[in-house]
Every structure is written in structure tokens, then in C-alpha cells.
């Protein structure tokens, strides 16, 4: 039996047809069956099952690759200096989360909410370090970053940080100034600091640090040096934190 006839015969058996037919009859029979209501249902189900199986294979392969990458990171965590970046959380924390974020990014708002959840769950074990990564297509991201750096000079970084994330739809220069006044900042000093060369240099240093460590989008995190790229939920961070605490 030649290859074509063998293939047709296999299809015929699959579709419940007799294999003792000529090529022409097999083609005709298969075409008739495939175009029938029953045939469409059977073929459609088979195709759907095929792609479901392929997707499951890909999911498992990706999951395995991610698990291996995670293992590699626990063995060789990234070392990132806290520097003069703002810090909140436990003073003697066993786990430090370095966060790279953009005040206008909606996913970063999720990240901010997750960090708050983590700090409540681990009040004695975790601290969060904030570093700036304003994306170029977010018009207000850089002005807000510079504003929080300036607010930090007067001890109000986290207060302004929260105001910006909680009011992303209102971000503007007018809102920045209004927030500074709301927080009781010295406005002249605030304006001078946010326009200073030092603030620009601090911002650029954070951006460069993000790029150096493979963060190309926001938010990005390093949990004791283990990377979490994206706004993952609390449970994902919890698995990493708990593993570090067990060590």
C-alpha cells in the first residue's frame, strides 16, 4: 500500500469508513463525512483536543523553565545596593524587596498594593526599597518621580508616593503642587529640589540600575535578589519570601 493510500485508509478508519475503497472513493467518502454534522463535530473535537494538548504541553514546559530559573536565582541572587533610596518596613528585615516603579503605570499601582499587603503580612521580616523607573510614554511619570525625590528631602516621600498612586487619573503639575501643599511641604524648597541636578542624577541612577539588572518594564522587583518581573499577586511573592525566611 503506498503512502497516500495508507494515509487515506487511516483516515477512513478514524472516521468509521470502510478501508476497502479506491483512492477516489476514499476521498469522496471522507469529504462527505467531514462535511456532515457528525463529521464536523468529530473533526472539530479532535482539532480542539489537539490544540488543548499542545497548550498544556507548552504551559508545563514554561512552568518547568520558570521553576528552573527560580532555582538558579536562589543560588545566585542579584546584589542591588539600597543606596539613598526610600525604605519602609522592618528595620532589621531578613528580606529586602527592591522595587522599580512608575507612578503613572496601572500595573505599578497593583504592585504598590501588593507591597502594602506584604508589609502587613510580614511586619518584622520584610522591608521595601523604592527605586524609580519612569517610562518615556508616561508623560507625568518623570515629573512625579522628581517630585517624590524632592518630598523625600522633607521626610514625606512615602506620603507623596501614596497620593500619586492612589490618584493616577489626576496626575498633573497642578496636582503635584497641590499635593505638596497638602503634605505641608515648604513649597519653595520643594520646587527647587525637584528641579535640581541632584534629583535628576538620582533618577537617572535608578533607571540605569534597572537596565543593568534586566528590568525593561514596570513594575520590577528583586526579593533578596530573586527577580519578579511584573505585577504578580501576593501569593507569588509569599512563596519566595517564605523560602528565604526558612533559610
Q: Would you say residue 192 lies in a domain? A: yes
For residues 103 and 28, membership in a common domain is answered with no
- Within this chain, do residues 121 and 10 fall inside the same structural domain, yes or no? no
Same domain, 95 and 63: no
Predicted model pTM: 0.75
pLDDT at res. 233:
96
pLDDT at 185 over 60: yes
Domain count, the chain: 2
pLDDT value at position 61?
A: 56
Same structural domain, 140 and 213: yes
Q: Are residues 106 and 39 in the same domain?
A: no
In a domain, 52, yes or no: yes
Q: What is the mean pLDDT of residues 12-17?
A: 53
Do 103 and 164 share a domain, yes or no? yes
pLDDT tens digits along 52-68: 766 766 666 565 666 77
pLDDT in tens, 186-243: 999 999 999 999 999 999 999 999 999 999 999 999 999 999 999 999 999 999 999 9
pLDDT at 62: 63
134 Cβ neighbours under 8 A, 6+ residues apart: 102, 103, 104, 141, 142, 144, 145, 203, 207
**Residue 5 reports pLDDT greater than 80:** no
Residues 12 and 49 in one domain: yes
CATH number at residue 113: 3.40.30.10
Range of the domain at 34: 3-75
Domain assignment present for residue 81? The answer is no
Q: 82 in a domain, yes or no?
A: no
pLDDT digits (tens, 9 = 90+) for 35-52: 887 777 777 777 777 777
Decide which of 75, 102, 124 is a domain's last residue.
Answer: 75
Domain final residue pick, 44, 75, 106: 75
- Residue 18 pLDDT exceeds 70: no
Are 43 and 107 contained in the same domain?
no
Q: Find the range with the poorest average confidence among 44-53, 98-107, 149-158, 209-218.
A: 44-53
Domain stops at, among 75, 101, 117: 75
Average per-residue pLDDT for the chain: 88
Based on the fold, state whether residues 92 and 177 are members of the same structural domain: yes
Asked if the structure places residue 80 within a domain, the reply is: no
Q: Are residues 94 and 187 in the same domain?
A: yes
Check whether residue 99 and residue 66 sit in a common domain.
no
Return the higher-pLDDT residue of 68 and 245: 245
- Same domain (yes/no): 110, 157: yes
pLDDT at 36: 83
Mean pLDDT of 97-116: 98
Amino acid at each position: 500500500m503506498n503512502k497516500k493510500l495508507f494515509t487515506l485508509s487511516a483516515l477512513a478508519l478514524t472516521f468509521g469508513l470502510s478501508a476497502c475503497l479506491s483512492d477516489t472513493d476514499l476521498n469522496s467518502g471522507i469529504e462527505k463525512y467531514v462535511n456532515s454534522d457528525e463529521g464536523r463535530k468529530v473533526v472539530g473535537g479532535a482539532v480542539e483536543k489537539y490544540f488543548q494538548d499542545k497548550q498544556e504541553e507548552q504551559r508545563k514546559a514554561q512552568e518547568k523553565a520558570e521553576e528552573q530559573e527560580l532555582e538558579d536565582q536562589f543560588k545566585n541572587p542579584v546584589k542591588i545596593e539600597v543606596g539613598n533610596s526610600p525604605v519602609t518596613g522592618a528595620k532589621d528585615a531578613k528580606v529586602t524587596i527592591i522595587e522599580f516603579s512608575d507612578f503613572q503605570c496601572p500595573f505599578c499601582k497593583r504592585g504598590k498594593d501588593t507591597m502594602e499587603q506584604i508589609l502587613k503580612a510580614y511586619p518584622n521580616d520584610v522591608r521595601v526599597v523604592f527605586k524609580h523607573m519612569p517610562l518615556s510614554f508616561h508623560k507625568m511619570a518623570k515629573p512625579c518621580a522628581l517630585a517624590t525625590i524632592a518630598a523625600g528631602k522633607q521626610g514625606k516621600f512615602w506620603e507623596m508616593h501614596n497620593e500619586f498612586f492612589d490618584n493616577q487619573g489626576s496626575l498633573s503639575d497642578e496636582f503635584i503642587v497641590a499635593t505638596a501643599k497638602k503634605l505641608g511641604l515648604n513649597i519653595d524648597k520643594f520646587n527647587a529640589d525637584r528641579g535640581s541636578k541632584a534629583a535628576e542624577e538620582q533618577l537617572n541612577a535608578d533607571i540605569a540600575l534597572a537596565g543593568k539588572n534586566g528590568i525593561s518594564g514596570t513594575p520590577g522587583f528583586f526579593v533578596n535578589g530573586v527577580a519578579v518581573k511584573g505585577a504578580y499577586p501576593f501569593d507569588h511573592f509569599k512563596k519566595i519570601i517564605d523560602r528565604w525566611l526558612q533559610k
